[in-house]
Amino acid sequence: MNANEIIDILETMYPDAHCELIYHNSFELAIAVMLSAQTTDNAVNRVTPALFARFDSVEAFANATVDEIARYIKSIGLYRNKANNIQKLAQKLLLEYDGKIPDNMEDLTSLPGLGRKSANVILSECFQVPSIAVDTHVERIAKRLRLAYKNDSVLTVERKLQKKIERSRWIKAHHLMIFFGRYKCKAINPDCTDCPFQGFCRKDVLKNK
């Protein structure tokens, strides 16, 4: 079974797969993605409404202290470091990008707290640039379904998926693989009942992710 056939099946399983982070603009998404590192989207969605209500612009975040920002995200893992990155992100946007989130990988990854995965999420969600963001779910599914090797780096997984999946499907494929990994093919105790990929799945791969 090739990559596009796998995506076909996942589309029948999760026709409404989408980004589950709640945001209203590219700046809010950048913050939400940053907050989502090593925590769940649900946990992020619980703190962002109050956070965005208190700091309603790039300027508001840039002028806030780290302590003020941290107060709103204390339930999130690594909240102190993330608060620091949020403040620095806002300040750099004002200094170098006229307060706007850039629309290319090089500039996005130069911003505090944003790596390649986060940049791919922003590019695909806000600018409709074909991208595949490889988080722990996408990495695990790619390796379990033999689209990448067990020891491949995250960047190698991304490159392989880009080669194997039609470019027009990259954005949707990313969401489909996340939904499959989040709700069925979990890292520990995956639900293999009625799974269409049982015949060739490497379910022992990445049990710790």
Burial of 126 (0-12, 13-18, 19+ CB in 10 A): middle
C-alpha–C-alpha distance, residues 191 and 202, integer Å = 14
Among the listed residues 113, 104, 93, the one whose alpha carbon sits nearest the alpha carbon of residue 31: 113
Helix, strand and coil percent figures for the chain, each rounded to 5: 55, 0, 45
Element holding 113 (H helix, E strand): none
Contact 75, 39 (CB under 8 A): no
Q: Which sequence positions are flagged as catalytic? A: 117, 135
Among the listed residues 156, 147, 151, 152, the one whose alpha carbon sits nearest the alpha carbon of residue 181: 147
Among the listed residues 116, 103, 125, 113, the one whose alpha carbon sits nearest the alpha carbon of residue 76: 113
Q: Which residues make Cβ contacts (< 8 Å) with residue 183, sequence separation at least 6?
A: 14
Q: What is the CA radius of gyration of the chain?
A: 18
